[in-house]
């Protein structure tokens, strides 16, 4: 069975002993069936709000810079930008290597580099080496590019709601049970069944914890450089 909006909604409806929807009547569903659709999207929103750095929301973005232009808008679906990931892509045509951009503060930019943004001296253009976040939804590269370099960076997106029956959730299928527990919580609340809602919420929150452990939590391991020597000993007086 396909993993999509219709299939998950029907799984919810089956668990509530309700008649399933079809691809024909799905979009125009009304009453409790419309709420069942909303419950699935609400569960997905809850999952997304539980962590900004879900790997299934990770995006690698490539922007083409313009000659002499310093400021560029973030993608409209960006939730969190990884500024440490900005790099200028190697380009044989322009003769530049891959360069990781140094992150500076906006204050630092205003104090030390902003004059380059308004300079008419094309000789001051070059391969960008620094990046900062503007107060608006923009990033700024400096020095301003002298060529149409490609800048690559990574961010975490804000997922859109499911609409059509064939829409596929951004959450991987192996976590379908977590989506369903969250959807059940919202469905039971709609029916004012607070006891069942509390049970579903508990299962949903436990599923979220497991998801975070597997997908988000990372542990840095430090490798010891100490090498014990079995031949080392402490000498002392020998007994007769």
Per-residue pLDDT of the chain in tens (240 residues, 90 and over written 9): 799 999 999 999 999 999 999 999 999 999 999 999 999 999 999 999 998 899 999 999 999 999 999 999 999 999 999 999 999 999 999 999 999 999 999 999 999 999 999 999 999 999 999 999 999 999 999 999 999 999 999 999 999 999 999 999 999 999 999 999 999 999 999 999 999 999 999 999 999 999 999 998 865 444 445 455 544 444 444 444
Picking from 130, 156, 182, the residue at the C-terminal end of a domain is: 156
- Is there a single domain that holds both residue 34 and residue 80? no
- Is there a single domain that holds both residue 27 and residue 65? no
- Is there a single domain that holds both residue 86 and residue 113? yes
Q: How far apart are CA 117 and CA 125, in angstroms?
A: 9
- Is there a single domain that holds both residue 77 and residue 139? yes
Length of the chain in residues, anyone?
240
Quick one: pLDDT at residue 218? 60
- Is there a single domain that holds both residue 32 and residue 10? yes
Picking from 156, 186, 205, the residue at the C-terminal end of a domain is: 156
- Is there a single domain that holds both residue 61 and residue 149? yes
Question: Does 88 reside within a domain?
Answer: yes
Question: Does 162 reside within a domain?
Answer: no
pTM score: 0.81
Question: Does 180 reside within a domain?
Answer: yes
Question: Does 24 reside within a domain?
Answer: yes
- Is there a single domain that holds both residue 40 and residue 81? no
The total of structural domains in the chain comes to 2
- Is there a single domain that holds both residue 47 and residue 65? no
By residue range, what is the domain housing residue 204? 5-53+171-215
Question: Does 42 reside within a domain?
Answer: yes
Is 50 within 8 Å of 79 (Cβ atoms)?
A: no
Query: Residue 174: helix, strand or coil by DSSP?
Result: helix
- Is there a single domain that holds both residue 41 and residue 61? no
Quick one: pLDDT at residue 219? 52
Q: How far apart are CA 172 and CA 192, in angstroms?
A: 30
Question: Does 234 reside within a domain?
Answer: no
Give me 152's structure tokens.
């690559």
Quick one: pLDDT at residue 227? 52
- Is there a single domain that holds both residue 114 and residue 146? yes
Spatial CB neighbours of 93, under 8 Å, sequence gap ≥ 6: none
Question: Does 82 reside within a domain?
Answer: yes
- Is there a single domain that holds both residue 67 and residue 112? yes
Is 143 within 8 Å of 124 (Cβ atoms)?
A: yes
Question: Does 233 reside within a domain?
Answer: no
Spatial CB neighbours of 94, under 8 Å, sequence gap ≥ 6: 127, 147, 149
Quick one: pLDDT at residue 47? 97
- Is there a single domain that holds both residue 70 and residue 100? yes
What distances in angstroms separate CA 220 from CA 214, 217, 223, one per listed residue?
Answer: 15, 10, 10
């Amino acid at each position: 069975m396909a993993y999509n909006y219709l299939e998950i909604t029907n799984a919810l409806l089956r668990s509530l002993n309700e008649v399933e929807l079809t691809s024909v009547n799905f979009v125009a569903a009304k009453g409790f069936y419309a709420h069942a659709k909303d419950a699935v999207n609400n569960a997905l929103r809850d999952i997304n709000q539980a962590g900004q750095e879900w790997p299934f929301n990770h995006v690698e973005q490539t922007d083409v810079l313009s000659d002499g232009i310093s400021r560029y808008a973030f993608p409209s679906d960006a939730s969190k930008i990884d500024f440490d990931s900005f790099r200028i892509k190697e380009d044989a045509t322009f003769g530049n290597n891959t360069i990781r951009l140094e992150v500076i503060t906006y204050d630092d930019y205003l104090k030390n580099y902003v004059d380059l943004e308004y300079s008419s001296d094309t000789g001051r253009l070059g391969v960008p080496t620094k990046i900062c976040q503007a107060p608006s939804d923009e990033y700024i590269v400096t020095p301003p590019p002298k060529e149409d370099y490609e800048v690559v960076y990574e961010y975490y997106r804000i997922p859109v709601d499911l609409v059509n029956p064939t829409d596929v959730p951004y959450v991987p299928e192996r976590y379908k049970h977590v989506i369903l527990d969250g959807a059940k919580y919202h469905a039971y609340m709609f029916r004012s069944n607070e006891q069942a809602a509390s049970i579903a919420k508990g299962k949903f929150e436990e599923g979220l914890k497991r998801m975070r452990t597997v997908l988000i939590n990372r542990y840095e391991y430090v490798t010891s450089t100490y090498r014990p020597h079995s031949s080392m000993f402490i000498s002392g007086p020998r007994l007769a």
